[in-house]
Structure 1
Amino acid sequence: MIKKFTSAIIFIAFIFSVCVSAAPSPGDSSLCSVVVEAESGDIIFEKNAHERRGPASTTKIMTALVALENSRTDDIVKIDPRAVGTEGSSAYLCAGEKVLLSDLLYAVMLGSANDAAAAIAYHIGGSIEGFAEMMNARAEKLGLSDTHFENPHGLDGESHYTTAYDLAMIAREALKNENFRNIVSTKTKAVKLSDGNVTRVFKNHNRLLFEYDDIIGVKTGFTKKCGRTLVSAAERDGVTVICVTLCDGDDWRDHRKLLSAGLELYERVTLCEKGGEERIVHVCGGEKASVGVCCDEKLSVTLSKPHGKTESVTELPPFVYAGFEKGDTLGFVSYYLDGKPIGRVALVAKEGSAVKLKKKNIFGK
């Protein structure tokens, strides 16, 4: 039996784009920085991108990701007394009050509330240490060997560190989560606190969101030890780039310059439109001798500019046996750039084909 897929796109393997430069960041005043293309993770620009430094409140990107992956946004969180009065930026939570997890996440990602981050940690991890272990496990799953968290809020710690590159990879993963993406792109949010009796409005600390239409987040940070830290992302014409700077006194200007430079180096290319790549396949033992196939999803990839000509290879058998349904996968089209795979799309049947019943003779055979 031919396996039926709900989506024509099976995978996009090894998205390939020529490494643009991996050179020192242009016009960058940070100690460490990196700009990456979000789909492939390719480094566009970098400076000391693998040097370990404190992340300050950009830590909260991982906090939000772990929370969203291990809880529901409509969960009710009873504020643990140990979270109340956490040093630094605060939502001024009260012990025992009940708050939606989603509201705590807005407080964390817009208002950078350390007590809200701690409350999430106690709710999901049982303790600050337990939640930090979850954060470290998630970093390890991403293959990040230069990141270690002690807490969910980013206050300085002896073994609380990451790198510009690792932060970019964490942000890249987090931006795949629709809830996370919606939260960090929100400019202001009214949150119910004190069991719904008090409304507090949090304004996103990311100034770039208010100044440029292509900015989609992500998080600011600062401690005296770390200096100013910033993770931002921009999307234009289907292309997304992520920028990270650590210890940068001119981060707003640097990010705008770096993001714009990165966006100019890539473009979104459509390899197959929905219903495209029409082919005919011969059918054996069916009511019809052949059936049409096509891709039932649009397939697009991000490629660096300039790039070579894309090529496609169709993978279809000489014939298929009847007994399949509309939408069943009968073959594939693979796409290549300079001989490297950049995408693969399933070819699905445009209609089903029942097995042809053999007519009986006068003897019932």
Structure 2
Amino acid sequence: MKSKNLILSCIAVLLLLTLPQNASAKIYVSANSAILMEQESGRVIYEKDAHTQRRIASITKIMTAILAIESGKMNDMVTISENAVRTEGSSIYLKAGDKIPLEDLVYGLMLRSGNDAATAIAEYVGGSLDGFVYLMKQKAEEIGMKDTNFENPHGLDDHENHYSTAYDMALLTRYAMENDMYKKIAGTEKYRSEDPDGDWDRVWKNKNKLLTGLYEYTTGGKTGFTKLAKRTLVSTAEKDGVELIAVTLNDPDDWDDHINMYESAFKEYKMALVLEKGKVKTKDSFYKNKLYVKEDIAYPITAKEEEGLEVKYKLSKVKGDWKKQEQNVPDIVGNAEIYLDDKLVDSTAIYYEHTKVKKNKSFFDHFKSMFLAVMGVEKDG
């Protein structure tokens, strides 16, 4: 009996040793490519083949939407072209000659995945489809989407060289979610587009089932499907201050996979306030009581990682002319660097607080103040 118990004990120990030891290992997805990223820090919590270039279908429209929003033309009326109406695939059933606000087109683009809306937006914002594609490529480069190439505004399989990666699409979504208008549109469950002349009245319900009922913490996202790309999905979710971005490419079980990724991460991770905005303490006599940071730094960590967080201050060497004249000290004099287990994960600028110099009033200024006081201006305003 003792021998049997010993064997069982050994088996139990071996099983414990082989169990996953972090959140990433507990996540399984059906997708060919997937990623889970935290919004504020950009930390990648989970990834699977996230840098492989693949077709992305209608999640392309995230780029189309943010370019439309940033154009500053959302209140403009757009006249729908015959070319837009003839666009294949999913549609919001625009008619040639219709005049519709650009804002409504973006809602139709994001909620119903209207390819006709995508073409209409591209023609208006970019001047032409080619002009808009140029803007898409420029923005992708600006964001750092190094493995992406856009060739159309909707994601249809009409170009061989239209592709991205799960990682790049997470970068794009992170960028877009910093825009309040985009965030509002992506998180809208239902939208009514009304014709001021009363010819039509459209009501669009969001195709993102995570948002409309499947997962209570969903804040937005975009669905996609083509015969070549298969199912693609970008979604965002927030719980207890942790904001996450999930991307899956070619995934037959995307709704469940996104929920699985979110639930695993929400259980394991919390946002730790690593550095508070305000004064930075230092023993350096020159910098003492003069340094500050402009923003809080929070970082997503597991309970096991808390002890591995460390903040290091890297300050510029004080120059001789700084001591002679404070105006020579630059505004930024260093960086606060955040380390997790000795790996640099984030940083923010350290600013120097210059002494405010009071300007001596000229004789004219004194005379002007006295004159206004006598006239009662300063008293009565």
Q: How far did residue 27 of structure 1 move? A: 2.4
Q: 1:303-348 CA deviation, whole Å, 9 max, x = no partner? A: 3321324335496979978999xxx969777254347473336567
Distance change >3 Å, CA 102–CA 322, structure 1 → 2: same
Q: How far did residue 355 of structure 1 move? A: 7.5
CA distance in 2 between partners of 1:164 and 1:256 (Å): 17
Q: 1:33-65 CA deviation, whole Å, 9 max, x = no partner? A: 122223343332222222332211111111112
Distance change >3 Å, CA 353–CA 264, structure 1 → 2: farther
CA contact (8 A) 2:274 2:311 kept: no
Amino acid aligned to 2:347: G
Q: How far did residue 104 of structure 1 move? A: 0.6
Could you tell me which residue of structure 1 aligns to residue 371 of structure 2? none
Amino acid aligned to 1:32: S
Could you tell me which residue of structure 1 aligns to residue 231 of structure 2? 228
Distance change >3 Å, CA 141–CA 298, structure 1 → 2: closer
CA contact (8 A) 1:55 1:221 kept: yes
Q: How far did residue 156 of structure 1 move? A: 1.2
1:300-319 matches, within 5 Å, as 300-305=297-302, 306-307=305-306, 308-311=308-311, 313=313
Q: How far did residue 142 of structure 1 move? A: 3.1
1:1-365 matches, within 5 Å, as 26-157=27-158, 158-193=160-195, 197-211=199-213, 212-273=215-276, 277=280, 295=292, 297-305=294-302, 306-307=305-306, 308-311=308-311, 313=313, 334-337=336-339, 338=342, 340=344, 342-344=346-348, 346=350, 352-354=356-358
Q: Secondary structure at the match of 1:222?
A: strand
More helix per residue: 1 or 2? Answer: 2
Amino acid aligned to 1:220: T
Q: Secondary structure at the match of 2:108?
A: helix
Amino acid aligned to 1:303: P
Q: 1:243-289 CA deviation, whole Å, 9 max, x = no partner? A: 11122221111100112223444332324545555789999xxxxxx
CA contact (8 A) 1:91 1:107 kept: yes
Q: How far did residue 204 of structure 1 move? A: 1.1
Q: How far did residue 148 of structure 1 move? A: 2.1
Distance change >3 Å, CA 322–CA 32, structure 1 → 2: closer
Distance change >3 Å, CA 294–CA 165, structure 1 → 2: closer
State how many pairs are aligned: 329
Q: Extract unaligned runs of 5+ from structure 2.
A: 1-20, 362-381
Q: Secondary structure at the match of 2:272?
A: strand
Bigger Cα Rg: 2
CA contact (8 A) 2:223 2:232 kept: yes
CA distance in 1 between partners of 2:354 and 2:241 (Å): 29
Q: How far did residue 232 of structure 1 move? A: 0.8
Distance change >3 Å, CA 191–CA 51, structure 1 → 2: same
Higher RCO (CA 8 Å, separation ≥ 6 residues): 1
More strand per residue: 1 or 2? Answer: 1
The percentage of aligned residue pairs carrying the same residue is 38
CA RMSD after TM alignment: 3.6
TM-score by length of 2: 0.73
CA distance in 2 between partners of 1:242 and 1:254 (Å): 13
